[in-house]
Amino acid sequence: MKIIVYAICKNESKFAARWAASMGEADGIYALDTGSEDDTAALLRRVGVHVTEEIISPWRFDAARNRSLELVPQDADVCVCTDLDEVFEPGWRKALESAWKKDTCRAAYRYTWNFNPDGSEGHVFYLEKIHRRHGYKWIHPVHEVLEWQGEGEEKRITAEGIQLNHLADPQKSRAQYLPLLELSVQEAPEDDRNMHYLGREYFFYHRWDDCIRTLQRHLALPKATWADERCASMRYIGKAYQHKGNEKEAEKWLWRAVAEAPHLREPCMDLAKMYYLRKDWEALAYIAFRALAITARTRSYISESDAWGSTPWDYRALGLYYTGRKREALAAAEEAARLSPGNERLQKNAAVIRAAVEKDG
């Protein structure tokens, strides 16, 4: 297969060499530089990347992605879209070739969006930005997605063994996201995904009323049927009410989120945090148990690392301990400590509960 990597970039000289090296298993690498004021373009050319420099005005991510896709040779079999702050772990091409079939249109693969301070993985989900050369177009001004416009059914696969890591610049601005999301909703008011992302962005900006109003619009859309994303909207609504000081509405919406997607731990964890802050230990023990009963982790972007580490065990231990069930609490505390060996508080908690159990005989 002829495999080509393509990307857009601007002022990313500190990532250029690292990115190009990790993409080196491809047959060619193409980049659209959209106006760098540093030496990004020169650095990329120096390591063999085909670079085109062009201003996209007015700026839209879909327009830039489509222009970068146009740069890919017509005879390419597979296109791999990445960003310069991302790196593949070695062996990605072999894994892709093993999974790709003659009728494959697009491949999903494992993506680590961030890493914890101790180096462990944070937010992990699956992306689908590896695709056939023809039949695709990027849509939406921001949070752009690939739209299948080819003939027949779009055949998707999962390419196990591919690992892409996001090593982001924490200083990078998100300022352009909100106006572009507002534009996305203006252009496609019935698009449920855009509406959800806009409501979430209002949450990030602490615009609680706009967040609540927009996410309620999302939930009312006929196309808003994916339980995981509906659950996420309910969670953001609940947390927005928390910030507004309306605990009753917050709790109501968080329980709605649990009911909407009973296969997800994440809404349970929001409730657990609420009950922990209230020192409602019985409710905390229950909701943490309910979270831990869910053992299958979703591969979507909804999955959050905190729900799958030591935190639910920690909440469970605290809830049990403060309701007098010390032996059960010890088992939960020891599991929390095992999952986070560098966390001194969890190690101390386990020791304290162990001592209390031994004292009671």
Find the mean pLDDT for residues 24-50. Answer: 98
Mean per-residue pLDDT of the chain: 96
Token representation of residue 61: 């991510």
CB count within 10 Å of CB 58 equals: 8
Residue 11 — very low, low, confident or very high, per pLDDT cuts 50/70/90?
Answer: very high
For residue 205, give the DSSP letter: T
Please report, to the nearest 10 degrees, the dihedral formed by the alpha carbons of residues 230, 233, 239, 241 taken in order: -100
Domains of the chain, CATH where assigned: 3-166 (3.90.550.10), 173-262 (1.25.40.10), 265-361 (1.25.40.10)
Model confidence at 307: pLDDT above 80:
yes
Give the mean pLDDT of 21-39: 97
Above 90 in pLDDT, residue 340?
yes
On whether the CB atoms of residues 315 and 271 are closer than 8 A, the answer is no
pLDDT of the residue at 211: 98
Q: Answer yes or no: are the C-beta atoms of 194 and 143 closer than 8 Å.
A: yes
pLDDT at 174: 78
pLDDT at 168: 86
Residue whose pair of structure tokens reads 């507004």 in the numeric block:
244
Give residue 175's pLDDT band: very low, low, confident or very high (50, 70, 90). confident
Residue 109 pLDDT more than 90? yes
What is the average pLDDT across 153-177? 91
Q: Is the pLDDT of residue 116 over 90?
A: no
Looking at residue 173, its pLDDT comes to 77
Query: For 220-242, what is each residue's pLDDT tens digit?
Result: 999 999 999 999 999 999 999 99
Q: Express each pLDDT in 124-145 by its tens digit.
A: 999 999 999 999 999 999 999 9
Between 148 and 174, the higher pLDDT residue: 148
The band of 197, judged by pLDDT with boundaries at 50, 70 and 90, is very high
Instruction: Show the tokens assigned to 178.
Output: 């909100």
* Separation CA 318–CA 324 (nearest Å): 10
Answer whether residue 361 shows pLDDT above 90. no
Confirm if 323 and 281 have CB atoms less than 8 A apart: yes
Characterize 272-310 residue by residue with b for buried, 16 or more Cβ atoms within 10 angstroms of its Cβ, and e for exposed: bbbbbeeebbebbbbbbbbbbebeebbeebbbbbebbbb
Bridge-based pairing of strands 78-81 and 124-132 is antiparallel
Coil, strand or helix at 109: strand
pLDDT at position 269 over 80:
yes
Phi/psi of residue 67, nearest 5 degrees? -65, -40
Please report the pLDDT score of residue 169 as a whole number: 83
Long-range pairs for 243-246: beta carbons < 8 A, 24 or more residues apart = 243/206, 243/208, 244/208, 244/209
Residue 55: pLDDT band by 50, 70, 90 thresholds? very high
Strands of the chain, DSSP E: 3-9, 28-33, 50-53, 78-81, 86-88, 106-112, 124-132, 136-139, 145-148, 156-166
Structure-model confidence comparison of residues 120 and 295, the more confident one: 295
Mean pLDDT of 243-272: 98
